[in-house]
Chain A
Amino acid sequence: MNEKNQSAEAKEDKKGKPRRTIDKYQLFRAAHVPGEGRVKPFLECLDKVVKHELYKFPLKLYLDTCAKCNNCATLCHITCDDQSNPHWLPAKRSDLLRKVYKRRYTLLGRLLGKLVGAEDLTEELVDEMYESFYRCTMCRRCALECPMGVDNSLITRIGRFCLSEAGMVPHNFKVSVDSQLKGPTRNTSAIPERAFLDTIEFLNEEMQEITGLPIEFPVNVKGAEILFVAPVSDYIMEADTLMGIAMTLYAAGASWTIATGAGSDSINYGVFYDDNWLRDIMLQLHDVVKDLGAKKLVIGECGHATKAQKVFAEYFGGKLDFEIKNIMEVTAQYIEEGRIKLDPSRNPDPVTLHDPCNLSRMGGLADTLRFVLRSAVSHFVEMEPHGNENYCCGGGGGTVGFEEIYDFRMEVGGRKKVQQLRETGAKIVAAPCANCKKQLRELVDYHGLNMEVAGIHDLVAKALVFDKAPGRKIEVVK
């Protein structure tokens, strides 16, 4: 398409409506999202990415070798039971980037164009990509059994990256990342330090009232072995999980601290769409670890924050002089070493586990999650399928923060998870991930499931046996 035509079409887009839609849902177009002039920056970004040492190998491999067998659609939580909308098929989504790649970088694509599935990038295609790449939750279940080993989530991620360079960023990401990197609070929820500390004080009082023990969140303690960093939203939404973690660390006699400022938030939305922000957010947190002299950076019950650190820390942060762990690994180690004691009979209700994709399939922690949960509850029910094969909750890839596609998450993205939850017959679903918990709570409400959603440490707290505990009954699962 020539520039004149593109310009003419751009004029039709003044109201911010996409030129090409893929379903009845639509991402909110904030004022910062441009309606034209996106082709050039997108392609400039793609030019760099296909040569970049991180992506050159896997991206070319995945774009070159898809057999178009549609096996991925049978695995995806969106399309496994309903493939009526071709735009939701993982291979179709990846083709949006594949066709541009073929046209721009392959001999056959240059010579034969559409005959070999190659197309020039247009403004319409950019609009289609923007919607499509934000329907995918990048859970990587489709890659699990792709006969060619193609990983559509990486293609989605690169697509989002190039869109970001073209200014196409969902409102929620933009606001959160701006707040985390440029705002005075240095956290995604823009919680002022005073309010953050007040919340901590409240949680300390709660824990002391529940246990009768002097448990508290140590703040900015230099020289502590562990710097514990949760997604900052947990301090508002997942107080029980945080208190459970604090109680666990107290019971184990750990040397630990939390931090204020940039150290108060493990969220790294850059991992979902833009390596520049991913790097900056990560290094900002690493600076806090170094300032405090911690030996371990322990991420809370949060899948994407754990993935961001474990996958990218050594590349962007160089050789680290501290370890990176998820809190589930730490708690599992305490149980194994006998540093904490759990009484599973205190959690008699049937509990099932939702495996966060970032922790199990991508983090290799499926057994660790089960070990901790089974130690804390007396009636564990497996979801089917589970572990590495578990289905995404439908809110991964950052999409849980997009209220504008709430209906999609409830009606399409989350329907497989609802089916799975129903089949367990469990009263509680435990999910050690802030994003998953938000999505699961919304699914439970929307579909009227008789089920509570909890973090694993909510249940660990209830099962914890303190040596000097006054033996008060605690109800931490709300």
Chain B
Amino acid sequence: MATIVSQVFPYLAILVFLVGAGYRIGVWATSPKKLNWKLYPVPEGLVGEASYIVGEWISFKMLFKNNRAIWLGSYVFHLSLVASAIWFLLLLLGVSAPWLSRLAAAGLFFSSIYLFVARLWIPQVRAISTPVEFFNLAIFIAMGGLGWSLTGRGLSGEMRRWVFSLAGFSPSVLPDEPVLIWFVFLVEFFIAYLPFSKMFHVASKYFAFHKSRWFNPYEVRG
């Protein structure tokens, strides 16, 4: 198990991710835009559009304004993902930030549980949920929980060496610790699954707002 998770699945996950993400982004990017389906307000220029989208990314203001309970869980959840990404970058740079890994993992764990319970507890949210919504959150609960339990165990160095060995196409094998192996396996599964799930909205937002909502294909542009 440790060998396959360390040496085979990482490449497989990245390959599936690249193919899936490339396909979906390719479809969104190359599909014709013939419908002038504007929705106002329409920000002026690329700067206006960018500030609108970035403003939403930073604050989740649409949820904050209308749906505070879901906003709380969703905001902490996404912040935890960002914190995880920053921790990973720091790891690659050789900077140890155990506090950040704890924060990210705990944030992910608790916010996912919060969202899972909210999805069950709030009748109207439950009414629009299907098993896959709970499955997605369950993955994050497991990743957050396992990741949290791995913090403070001095595995950063091992992880860093493993990542670099992958990059050099001479993958090493991770320590045969069940928690670590399951954690890495879940991360690999998530990477491969992401482009085929609705969680790929990280990439769809640009198209949904710029291309679909604001762009008029018949407007004469000078």
A45 to B211, CA, bound (A): 25
Known: A57-B212, A149-B209. A364 touches B65 (CB 8 A): no
B107 to chain A, nearest CB (A): 19
Complex: A140 Cα to B32 Cα, angstroms: 22
| Bound CA–CA A24/B41 (angstroms) | 36
By a CB distance below 8 angstroms, the chain B residues around A160 are none
Assess whether A339 is interfacial by the CB under 8 Å rule.
Answer: no
A153 to chain B, nearest CB (A): 9
Contact of A57 among B33, B41, B119, B125 (CB under 8 A): B33
Chain B binding surface, main DSSP class: helix
A362 within 8 A of B: yes
B207 on the A face (CB < 8 A): yes
CB-CB under 8 A for A114 and B131, given A65-B208, A67-B201, A149-B209: yes
Q: Contacts A68-B128, A361-B39, A388-B41 hold; do A57 and B211 have CB atoms under 8 A apart?
A: yes
B32 and A53 form a contact (CB under 8 A): yes
* Interface positions of A from 42 to 90, Cβ below 8 Å from B: 53-58, 60-62, 64-71, 73-75, 83, 86, 89
Instruction: For B62, give its contact among A71, A92, A140, A315 (CB under 8 Å).
Output: A71
The B-contacting residues of A in range 123-157, CB under 8 angstroms, are: 140, 143-151, 154
Interface size on B, residues (CB 8 A): 51
**Interface hits, B180-209 → A, CB 8 Å:** 196-198, 200-201, 204-205, 207-209
Question: Cβ of B123 and Cβ of A86 under 8 Å apart?
Answer: yes
Stretch in B66-74, B84-92, B94-102, B168-176 with 4+ CB within 8 Å of A? B66-74
**Min distance, Cβ B96 to any Cβ of chain A, angstroms:** 34
- How near does chain B come to A280, taking the closest CB pair, in angstroms? 19
Contact call B124/A83, Cβ cutoff below 8 A:
yes
Q: A115 contacts which of B24, B130, B197, B207 (Cβ < 8 Å)?
A: B130
**Closest B residue by C-beta to A73:** B124
Please, which residues of chain A bring their CB within 8 A of the CB of B205? 148-149
**What count of chain A residues pass the 8 Å CB interface test?**
56
Asked if A69 and B28 sit within 8 Å, CB to CB, the answer is no
Closest CB in chain A relative to B101 CB, distance in Å: 27
The distance from the CB of B52 to the nearest CB of chain A, in whole angstroms, is 11
B70 — which chain A residues lie within 8 A by C-beta?
A: 69-71
> What are 9 inter-chain pairs, A to B, with CB distance below 8 A?
A57-B28, A61-B28, A61-B208, A86-B128, A108-B132, A117-B132, A314-B36, A315-B35, A315-B36
* B contacts, CB < 8 Å to A: 24, 27-28, 31-42, 56, 60, 62-63, 65-67, 70, 74, 119, 122-125, 127-133, 135, 196-198, 200-201, 204-205, 207-209, 211-213, 218
Closest 6 CB pairs of A and B: A149-B208, A117-B130, A57-B31, A86-B127, A74-B66, A145-B62
Give me 16 other A-B pairs in contact (C-beta within 8 A), A92-B127, A315-B218 excluded: A57-B28, A57-B33, A57-B35, A57-B212, A64-B24, A68-B133, A69-B70, A70-B70, A71-B62, A86-B124, A95-B128, A115-B132, A140-B39, A311-B35, A311-B37, A362-B40
